[in-house]
Amino acid sequence: MIIDSHAHYAHEMYEGEFSFIDCGEGEYCISHSDIRGMLDRMREYGICATIEPATSVERHEAQRALAAKHKGYVYCAAGLHPKQCSAIPFKHRNLLQKNLAEINAIAIGETGLDYSMPRAKQFRLRQKRWFVYQIKLANEHKLPLILHVRDADKDALKILKKYSSLLHGGVAHCFHGDKDTAMQYISLGFALGIGSKLLEDNAELWDAVRNVPLSSLLVETDAPYLRPDISEVNTSNRQKKKARNSSLILPSVIERIAELRGLSPADVEEAIYQNTLQVFRLTESR
C-alpha cells in the first residue's frame, strides 16, 4: 500500500479529460481519462490515498470539492504557499482558519520559504511572517506541517529551530538535499518527502536516502509537477509533453529507495506506508 504524501489533483490540469503517466507492465506508459478514472487506476496499483496540500486561497473550493467526492481517499491540508505570500495581505490570515475547518485539514501547508523567484528579496520578509504564522497555527491545532523550502534551507531551519517547541512533526516536501541537511530536518521531527528527483542522477540525494533512518522517509509526486523522465515511452513527443504526472510513478521511487538501501521493495513500501500514517495521524487504509 502506498500513500502519495503530496499531490495536487485539485489543480486545473486535472479538469475534464487528460493524458497521464501510467505504469503498464513495469514500464511507464501514457493513459487517457478523467480524474475519477485516473484515481481508480491508482487504486488498482495500490495507491490507497493521497494528501492534497494547499497552494493558494483561490484553489480552496476545488480542493474541498475533490476531497468531498473522494472521501477517505483524498486528504487535505490548509496553508499558503510561500510564492503566494506576496499576493495575500497578512491581515487576511483568518482565511486560513476558515479553510482549515471547511476541509477538515490533516496538516498545515504547504508553507515555508522559496528564494528561487526573481526579485525574491522583496518578498522574503513576507514569506517569513506567513511561515511563522502557519507554524503557530499548526501548533494551535496540534497538526503536522508540510514544508516547501527551496533554496532557503538555512533560513527555514533557523526559524524551525527557534519555534521547535511548537512543532508537531510533518514532512520536508520534495527533499533533494544532502545528508547533513536531511538530518537537521529529521532532528526537528520532520520526515523527508522523496519523489522523482531520486530517479535522476543525484549523488547527494542518493547518499541522504541511503543513510537516513528508513522511518524518516515518505514518498510523493507533487503532481502535476516534477514528472520523471518519460523519453523512452513509445508515443509522440506531443503526447509525452501533455501527459500529467500521477501517483503511478511511486512504485519506481520505492524501488529506487530499496535499491539504495539494499532492501526489498515490499519491505520499503510497508515501512513508508506506516511512516505516512504516523506523520499525518491517519488510520489504516487497507
pLDDT per position as a tens digit, 207-224:
999 999 999 999 999 999
Residue 286 resides in a domain: no
- Quick check: 219 and 195 in contact, CB under 8 A? yes
Domain of 188, in residue numbers: 2-280
The angle that helices 265-280 and 250-261 make with each other, rounded to 10 degrees, is 110
Residue 248 resides in a domain: yes
Residue 95 resides in a domain: yes
pLDDT of residue 286: 47
Reported as a single tens digit per residue, the pLDDT across 166-181 is 999 999 999 999 999 9
CA-to-CA distance for 63 and 53, rounded, in angstroms?
9
Residue 244 resides in a domain: yes
Residue 217 resides in a domain: yes
- Look up residue 109 and give its amino acid: G
**CB-CB neighbours of 58 under 10 Å:** 10
pLDDT of residue 120: 65
Environment class of residue 8 by beta-carbon count within 10 Å: exposed (0-12), middle (13-18) or buried (19+)?
buried
Question: In this structure, what C-alpha cell is assigned to residue 29?
Answer: 506508459
Residue 113 resides in a domain: yes
Residue 255 resides in a domain: yes
Mean pLDDT over each residue of the chain, to the nearest integer = 94
What CATH number did the domain enclosing 101 receive?
3.20.20.140
pLDDT of residue 183: 98
Taking the model in full, what pTM does it have?
0.95
pLDDT of residue 117: 77
pLDDT of residue 60: 83
Q: Are strands 28-33 and 18-23 parallel, antiparallel or unpaired?
A: antiparallel
**Three-state SS across 222-278?**
CECCCCCCCCCCCCCHHHHHHCECCHHHHHHHHHHHHHHHCCCHHHHHHHHHHHHHH
Query: Which residues are within 8 A (CB) of 255 and not within 5 positions of it... i.e. 6 or more apart?
Result: 265
pLDDT of residue 285: 56
- Quick check: 76 and 104 in contact, CB under 8 A? yes
Residues in the chain predicted with pLDDT less than 50, given as ranges, are: 286
CA-to-CA distance for 173 and 192, rounded, in angstroms?
6
Residue 164 resides in a domain: yes
How many domains, the chain? 1
